[in-house]
Structure 1
Amino acid sequence: MARRALILLEGSRYNGPLYVQAARHSGLHPITLSADPARYGYLAADDVEAIRVDTDNLDALIRECSRLRAIYDIAGITCAGDPFYATVGMLCRYFDLPGPNPTSIERCCNKFTQRQLLAEAGVAIPIYRLAADATEVESSAAEIGLPVVLKPAVGAGSRGVRLCRNLDEVAEHTTYLLGGQHIWRSSPRILVEEFVQGPLYWADIMGDQIIGIGTADSGPLPHFVGREWTFPAPLTDDEHKRITDVSLSCLRALGLGWGPTGIEFRWTKRGPVVIEVNPRLHGTPTPQLTQLAYGVDLIAEHIKLVIGDEWDLHRRHSQTAAARFLVPDRDGTLDWIGGDSRAAAIPGVAEVKFYVEPKTPIVRKGDLRDWIGYVIAASPSRAQTEAILQRAVDLIDWSITPFATPGEQERPAGP
């Protein structure tokens, strides 16, 4: 009998390893198809079968999956992120496997189209305009009113997203986005949006079921780098109901409802305003927080859906889990980083993760790539979890030597 395999399209240094682990735990052989498997260090470290293929070429992917089907029993096809999720849907349809609707995924991944569909459905969203060049960006910003948020119309992970408080910052960031520094996966289009202020919340959904709602802190402005995530969020019954109702409205408006969806909100005087809908699970460490808080392994349950098994989303317990991200405050060369073993030994700490090693160049980009690690803790109460987390983070330390500037010697500096 042929070995059952799970095809993973491309990878992710965040959720990618969790999908590999969950697949193996389910008795599946994970195979990653990637244009550049070397980008994902965990593939070699975890001895994952990886095949180089042009993942932007649907025909090439069909040929490779057909070749693999002659060797393995292909149980399902999926991916850890959303840039290739529409392609996953196309492959699933071609091979008659369970999968998402590719048309719905494509519409959702285009933030301008997503905004249009949500607006038509009466969902509260920021005021927005689409711009193709600097002149249109500036006129859109003036029309909406400063400050505004500029972001690529297609993108993920807060890459290229920035708050612009005046026209000089608008011009500067527009030059960055359109001047060749930002990597586009589609035609360059910039979304100019009203700066919506208020507490940040996120909902994780599987199918049409709201698994839970968390809260997050990000910054410092003008960027939106995640700093701390807490799950579940302390909400009143009315607040929970309003976020749930808006979430379900988003699913209907965008034609989603198969598999995972992650939605981000700002709570304003108008109530929950939708900042973004993503046709995927939120990235690491959100799945770990959900498992610690409720005992639900979202990635394992997603894989069950992908291979046609029944999932089980019922909560097994109730705790508060939180993650604090380690973010450097300067660029330079990482001399050393430590304290992870001491932090991990604190009761209630679930995981300490470093993404970097000594001698790594640190160049901050103003998005999730700035994270050099995180700490996760869980306990029966929010106050206790926060205390555990703070105690653990206080034990972690690092040193960064700033890059030398012309005529200046390098000098060490702490975090």
Structure 2
Amino acid sequence: MTRRVLVLIEGNRTGSSQLYAQAGQRLGLHPITLCADPGQYDYLAGGKFEAIRVDTDDLAALIRECSLLQSTYDIAGITGAREMFYATVGNLCRHFDLPGPDAAAIERCCDKSTQRQLLGDAGVPIPAYRVAKNATEIEDSAAQIGYPVIVKPSIGSGSTGVRLCRNADELAEHTNYLLGGGHVWRSSPRILVEEFVQGPFYSTNIFGKEVIGVAAADFGRPPHFIFREFTFPAQLGDEEHERIADVSLRCLRALGLGWGPTNIEIRWTKVGPVVIEVNPRLAGTPDPQLIGLAYGVDPIVEHIKLAIGDEVDLKRKQSYTAAARFLVPERDGTLNRISGDIQAAALPGVAEVKFYTESNNAIVPKGDDRDWIGHVIAASPSHSQTKAILQRAVESMSWSIAPFPAADG
């Protein structure tokens, strides 16, 4: 009997891609990851999961590689966890006549300026914004909107290049970073200058056209937007939940989405929900783990089942509260000690303790999710109990960072 293969396009450092590979195995599939550099993903080391080196920016090369695999295996489905390759996933699925997302809709959504325009045209509440290509246009846009403003690349993920600029000096500094060589552009620079919308932050998780649930999230200190904690489900009243769900589903219609998972980021303001961003794929760590712990629904398993043409089951099996805390150092230097992680993992209610880096590695804050060095996840039948478990686990761990040696001269 021909072996059924799940093709995964690229991976990530926080663990979602490993969860896809593990879920594929549980479904009786053989996961094979196609990636430019297998060595950058820890879970591919040791030979537990198969990987093939290929230029994942080259669609033709990916088609050739999948065609070679097809001569030996039965490709049951193609998917992936990385947003920047999810349109590629859609194109591959279409080429091989497999279930998959609409690549054109994914590409439109991943361009934040196009996304903003489509949402605005559909009457979805969004922040005031301007699109700029150079320093003068950035400065003029900020003046028109009024400080403080959010400045970020039109294409990107993980909060890379995103900053709150509270005055002209901070705007000039970040503009120089974005346009002066500090930021890596995959295409011609286009920058969004947006109104800073304030209020509690929520994240809507949707599968197909069904809202699975809404998470609450908190950030670290500005001017960057680094997630520090997630709680699922969010503590919302019925009216708040209904309004968030309604505006989230309006986003799908405006953007032509509705196949598989979508994640929508929202701020609750004085006038209600305002859409900050639509991510046309399953949210990364910790959302899949939190949904599984809270509701007994594994969105990664269900995503794979959808991708291979199997029936999806989103019915809740339980009602818990799950929460995650990201571990973020406050300074740069060399990480020379991690302790307490084993004890934290053994605490009742702690579901996962994971570090993304090791001792003796350099820590250089970048102002985005690359600053995470790990996470802790906990769950229990109540919101207050889960928060207490999470705090106890975090307090039981510690790490130390040695300053970098001073440069001679």
Separation of aligned partners in 1, 2:38 and 2:393: 34
**AA partner of residue 23 (structure 1):** G
The corresponding residue for 2:90 is 89
Q: How far off is 1:161 after superposition?
A: 0.4
Matched residue SS, 1:374: strand
Structure 2 residue 94 is matched with structure 1 residue 66: no
The corresponding residue for 1:2 is 2
Structure 2 residue 269 is matched with structure 1 residue 268: yes
The corresponding residue for 2:356 is 355
Unaligned runs of 5+ in 1: 409-415
Separation of aligned partners in 2, 1:304 and 1:66: 22
TM-score (norm 1): 0.97
The corresponding residue for 1:280 is 281
**AA partner of residue 110 (structure 1):** D
Separation of aligned partners in 1, 2:381 and 2:27: 29
Query: Residue 45 and residue 272 in structure 1: after superposition, are their counterparts in 2 closer, same or farther (change >3 A)?
Result: farther
| 1:371-382 matches, cutoff 5 A | 371-382=372-383
**AA partner of residue 252 (structure 1):** R
13-22 or 304-313, larger mean C-alpha shift: 13-22
**AA partner of residue 135 (structure 1):** T
Separation of aligned partners in 2, 1:63 and 1:356: 34
Separation of aligned partners in 1, 2:407 and 2:83: 42
Separation of aligned partners in 2, 1:151 and 1:283: 20
**AA partner of residue 181 (structure 2):** G
| 1:165-244 matches, cutoff 5 A | 165-244=166-245
Percent of pairs identical after alignment?
69
Separation of aligned partners in 2, 1:11 and 1:48: 12
306-315 or 10-19, larger mean C-alpha shift: 10-19
The corresponding residue for 1:412 is none
Q: How far off is 1:46 after superposition?
A: 5.4
The corresponding residue for 2:102 is 101
Separation of aligned partners in 2, 1:59 and 1:144: 43
Q: How far off is 1:407 after superposition?
A: 5.9
Separation of aligned partners in 1, 2:141 and 2:220: 24
Structure 2 residue 124 is matched with structure 1 residue 123: yes
Q: How far off is 1:183 after superposition?
A: 1.4
Q: How far off is 1:44 after superposition?
A: 1.5
The corresponding residue for 2:305 is 304
The corresponding residue for 2:290 is 289
Q: How far off is 1:32 after superposition?
A: 0.9
Separation of aligned partners in 2, 1:402 and 1:159: 25
Separation of aligned partners in 2, 1:21 and 1:184: 33
Matched residue SS, 2:84: coil
The corresponding residue for 2:12 is 12
Separation of aligned partners in 1, 2:66 and 2:346: 44
| 1:125-144 matches, cutoff 5 A | 125-144=126-145
Q: How far off is 1:175 after superposition?
A: 1.0
**AA partner of residue 196 (structure 2):** F
Aligned-residue RMSD, C-alpha = 1.0
Matched residue SS, 2:91: helix
Separation of aligned partners in 2, 1:350 and 1:88: 31
Q: How far off is 1:45 after superposition?
A: 3.7
**AA partner of residue 67 (structure 1):** L
Matched residue SS, 1:83: helix
Separation of aligned partners in 2, 1:318 and 1:46: 37
249-258 or 32-41, larger mean C-alpha shift: 32-41
Deviations, residues 155-204 of structure 1 (Å, cap 9, x unaligned): 00101100001111111111111112211222211110000100000011
**AA partner of residue 406 (structure 1):** A
Alignment coverage as a number of residue pairs: 408
TM-score (norm 2): 0.98
The corresponding residue for 2:155 is 154
Matched residue SS, 1:216: strand
Matched residue SS, 1:300: helix
Q: How far off is 1:341 after superposition?
A: 1.1
**AA partner of residue 361 (structure 2):** T
Q: How far off is 1:53 after superposition?
A: 1.1
159-168 or 40-49, larger mean C-alpha shift: 40-49
Separation of aligned partners in 1, 2:240 and 2:101: 30
Query: Residue 171 and residue 279 in structure 1: after superposition, are their counterparts in 2 closer, same or farther (change >3 A)?
Result: same
**AA partner of residue 206 (structure 1):** F
Deviations, residues 37-71 of structure 1 (Å, cap 9, x unaligned): 21212112452211111111111111111111001
The corresponding residue for 2:56 is 55
Q: How far off is 1:355 after superposition?
A: 1.0
Structure 2 residue 253 is matched with structure 1 residue 252: yes
| 1:368-407 matches, cutoff 5 A | 368-406=369-407
Separation of aligned partners in 2, 1:188 and 1:41: 32
Structure 1 stretches of at least 4 aligned residues deviating more than 3 Å after TM superposition: none
Matched residue SS, 1:84: helix
**AA partner of residue 174 (structure 1):** T
Separation of aligned partners in 2, 1:407 and 1:78: 49
Separation of aligned partners in 2, 1:349 and 1:55: 36
